[in-house]
């Protein structure tokens, strides 16, 4: 239905079930000429904490960094204040994407520029989870503070790979109907393709992390270009405080 007096659609939109924690309705944009979202295809990134003024900018900055200038996040603000993001190709970019940039683009393109929207909930230092959480299947939560720490990982781990994992995971669960666990396994493959690594899931014997306190060290083994690396994630209250990478002969 259409209310001509205020020029807004008051229909419960097709994504409204995803917005239960934010607001029940997403209205059509007031200015249809300025804000045409032709295919309705985009990432909608909302902040989980209303006082958090920085996580959206951090998220966009890290996505742009991962795309190396070949694509740029385009953001418009929906009427409810949510940033609605898609990727635009930069025709002036010189050369072609390297394998990391290409793998990242391939992982996130379905979310940003595919036929359906993906809802991302941004945190900045959440003590509820480490890096990402898709356990409710409706909102892909990402802690940008944790993601940022991964750039201490000398390319064995990286913010690009973590974001590729989380954004792809959101796409697989919300659009493709994958279970959260399947989507997480897919996310690990995405990480590996972005970093050029193999993550050994059976090498966690040195971890001291206690999920009840959210404190300790998670030790994860990776192989990259013939070298084995131990990556220690030092966790305080489910936040990554430091990342150290040790090559093993
Ligand atoms: Zn995951």
The answer to whether 97 touches 65, Cβ cutoff 8 Å, is: no
Phi then psi for residue 19, to 5 deg, are -100, 15
Whether 15 shows a pLDDT value over 80: the answer reads no
pLDDT digits (tens, 9 = 90+) for 212-222: 999 999 999 99
85 CA to middle of ligand 1, Å?
A: 21
* % of the chain with per-residue pLDDT over 90: 65
Evaluate if residue 155 carries a pLDDT over 80: yes
Residue-level pLDDT at 201: 73
Rounded Cα gap, residues 104 and 66, in angstroms:
7
pTM of the model: 0.83
Cα 37 to ligand 1 centre (Å): 29
The DSSP annotation for 69-115 comes to TSEEEEEEE-TTS-EEEEEEE-TT--S---HHHHHHHHHHHHHHHSS
Q: For residue 103, is pLDDT > 80?
A: yes
Centre of ligand 1 from the C-alpha of residue 165, in Å:
6
Looking at residue 116, what is its pLDDT? 86
**Cα 12 to averaged position of ligand 1 atoms, centre (Å):** 30
Average pLDDT over the chain reads 83
pLDDT at 127: 95
| Per-residue pLDDT at 18 | 40
Residue 138 C-alpha to ligand 1 middle, in angstroms?
A: 14
φ/ψ (deg, to 5) at 121: -105, 115
Euclidean distance between CA atoms 241 and 186, whole angstroms: 26
CA of 30 to the centre of ligand 1 (A): 36
Q: Which residues are close to ligand 1, an ion, with C-beta < 5 A?
A: 169, 184, 187
The residue that leads in pLDDT, 16 or 117, is 117
Q: Tell me: pLDDT of 179 over 70.
A: yes
- Mean of the pLDDT values across residues 116-131? 93
């Amino acid at each position: 239905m259409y209310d001509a007096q205020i020029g807004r659609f008051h229909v419960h939109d097709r994504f409204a079930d995803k917005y239960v924690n934010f607001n029940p309705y997403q209205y059509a944009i007031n200015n249809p000429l300025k804000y045409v979202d032709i295919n309705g295809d985009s990432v909608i990134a909302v902040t989980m904490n209303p006082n958090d003024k920085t996580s959206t900018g951090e998220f966009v900055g890290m996505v742009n960094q991962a795309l190396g200038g070949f694509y740029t996040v385009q953001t418009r603000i929906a009427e409810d204040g949510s940033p609605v993001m898609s990727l635009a190709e930069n025709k002036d970019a010189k050369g072609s994407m390297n394998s990391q940039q290409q793998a990242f683009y391939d992982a996130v393109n379905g979310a940003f520029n595919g036929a359906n929207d993906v809802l991302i909930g941004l945190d900045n230092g959440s003590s509820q989870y480490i890096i990402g959480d898709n356990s409710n299947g409706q909102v892909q939560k990402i802690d940008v503070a944790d993601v940022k720490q991964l750039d201490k990982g000398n390319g064995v781990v990286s913010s690009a790979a973590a974001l590729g994992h989380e954004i792809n995971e959101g796409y697989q669960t919300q659009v493709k109907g994958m279970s959260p666990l399947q989507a997480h396994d897919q996310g690990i493959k995405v990480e590996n393709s972005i970093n050029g690594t193999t993550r050994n899931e059976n090498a966690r014997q040195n971890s001291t992390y206690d999920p009840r306190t959210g404190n300790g060290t998670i030790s994860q083994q990776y192989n990259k270009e013939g070298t084995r690396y131990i990556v220690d994630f030092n966790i305080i209250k489910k936040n990554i405080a430091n990342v150290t990478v040790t090559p093993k002969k």
